[in-house]
Structure 1
């Protein structure tokens, strides 16, 4: 879903830790942050370990989002969503949609626009910190092409490092923990190579606009420092 992070060691991409389940993309891989099995000593050395411990404590398995970039050949090839459209879990239901009509639109210099469904009461993520978020990604018609809710997994990625598409990276930066936001992402901040269609998932044309509903759940690094 974005740029393969340069900061991740080769072993993280090439050799998953014990218990990790790789989710294949065309030219890239998504690796679950951790599982309940015991980590080997070599993996304890990664600064990612603290995040894994926090995720397990919350009974959540994080996912690092990767995808169409100069380092990943081809488009997004994750499995298609399995539930029919009417049964897909959402961050914004019908009543939320009606309320959202009266929420003022915020526009940024990059072309990104957003509406806050709910303003959080926690901290905003500093650049370089990891965040754990629920994300429901849609085409402008409302069809969902990716959803952490349906997968039952929070998405974990590092803000400002290019691990996700530019629109999501920018949009989550000014959110606060506990907040929910709808991002209206223009094509230049979305998927340059587009996303192929699959059963239950619509095609996303190259450089076409997309809509993301995002819920910022917590910031692992900040939480660990506070403890």
Structure 2
């Protein structure tokens, strides 16, 4: 809980006190993001609702649970406190998010922010070379969707996009198709993004940059975090067992 509170305070800057300077979205797309951490236990998956705010030129993508927890936290911080009283923050009832990344996309860049001990941001240099199928179609949320495939980081993905919404965007870092991406699945089922609602909304598209690093530096810091989440603050036998078990189970990543 202590680490969650620290993270909430840091990440809250993504959404507050910059509304007037932000560009506005045209669409809000909600996705269910389902993923597994252990390739040997595919039945143990996690699903979290994600939000894509996009106007076709720029977009932000983040966990709905993080946004909900930030809103709840801000409400407590803004509540009046009597002089001399100590403000208390309760985490009871806060959504417990599992996804710790957010993504900003514009016409030139894709920036990915991830919270571990600190908030880090790196630029994605992936080139998405899509192959579109002219024969395969299916319906998602009532939209006729076409199939496309791509390989990213040695993983093969299948996407379904609709020409009916001519926005070159999608969940996470996926984009580059002649229509909005409504579903993306890794071929083995390790990661799946599927749209569950689409609404026209005008909302501020805010994104918080963390400490700027390269992708290689991010991977190194991620491995260090998995090896010792407490950063040397704990060294008990039970903690070491937990870390070793967690390392075995965390063996597949988006990046």
TM-score, with structure 2 as normaliser: 0.25
Structure with max Cα Rg: 2
